[in-house]
Each structure stands twice: as structure tokens, then as C-alpha cells.
Amino acid sequence: MQLNIVLVEPEIPQNTGNIARTCAAVGAVLHLVEPLGFSVSDKYLKRAGLDYWDKVDIRYYKNFESLKSQYPDFPFYYVSTKGSIVYSDVSYPDECFFVFGKETKGLPESLLIENYNLCIRIPMRPTIRSLNLSNSVAIVTYEFLRQKNFCNLQLKGHIPTKSD
């Protein structure tokens, strides 16, 4: 099982840092498609990711086509407010890619049209433009993991007692 999160031209370092932290927590690969709206050494990016950078598999691409060409046999799901399918109505394969667009514009319209049957959405009130990017990634990520019975993740916590 391998979850892949793709950010196409992310603009806000704090969002990418939060997403990297989520990827570290669940073992997902983070794919970043340039151009990035920040430097990967940005202090806000590092602060949002805290000390998890060495626990994240991050891969960089010059453009989306180069990413797709490296994984021609894997399904890609495009997350957009324009998607026709609710994200929780899809039964995801064990290895897939979730593609998210930049914060200000989302994914390119041409990409959505070409992949209409693979465009998923998170339901929300019609008067709201969109959710925060890092929140959207977390929602879709945990639905994928729920479907896989949270494979390889710790399911039970432990509250410390005085005897610990």
C-alpha cells in the first residue's frame, strides 16, 4: 500500500509544511510540482513541518507531465471543488495519487476536463469557495487510510498514569 500526495505549484509554505507533517505521520510520499511559491528552505515551511522533514519522502518535478510519465500505470485522483464525485464515494486502490492544485487557483481547468471521471470533491456549503489546502489533504488522506483499515498505523493510544 502506498499513498501519494501531489501538490501542483503550491504557494503557501505553511500549508506545504503542514501537509509534509501529515505525510510523515501516515507514511505518504509527497510529490511537489514546480514552480513552488516559496523556497524549500523557507523558515515557515520548516516550522510548520517541525522536526519531521527527515521522515518524509519528498520528490520534486519540473512539471506535472514529468510526474505522470514516471507513474503511467497508477490511478490519479484530482481533488477540486469542481469535481463531480464525493471523495468518500470512491473505493481507492492500494496505490494511488491524490492531486491538489495551488491555493489561489486550484488545478488547471484543462487537467480537470481531461480527467473528469477522476475528479473528486469534498462537500461543503455552496457559499464557501474552498477549504484550506492542508485541511483538504488531511480529509482525503484519512478517508484513504480508513478504507485500508489504517494499515501500519497505531490505533490505540496510552494515557500516562502515575505508575508510568
Distance, in Å, from the CA atom of 81 to the CA atom of 121, rounded to the nearest integer, reads 5
88 is in an annotated binding site: no
> Which residues touch 59 (CB under 8 Å, ≥6 apart)?
29, 30, 31, 32
Is the bond preceding 75 in cis, omega lying within 30 degrees of 0?
Answer: no
Q: Is 163 annotated as a binding residue?
A: no
Phi and psi angles of residue 13, each rounded to the nearest 5 degrees, phi first:
-60, -35
Q: 80 among the known binding-site residues?
A: no
Distance CA 126, CA 83 (A): 13
Does the annotation list 122 as a binding residue?
Answer: yes
Q: How far apart are CA 148 and CA 110, in angstroms?
A: 31
What distances in angstroms separate CA 75 from CA 6, 43, 67, 70, 93, one per listed residue?
12, 34, 12, 12, 8
List binding-site positions.
79, 101, 122, 130
List binding-site positions for S-adenosyl-L-methionine.
79, 101, 122, 130
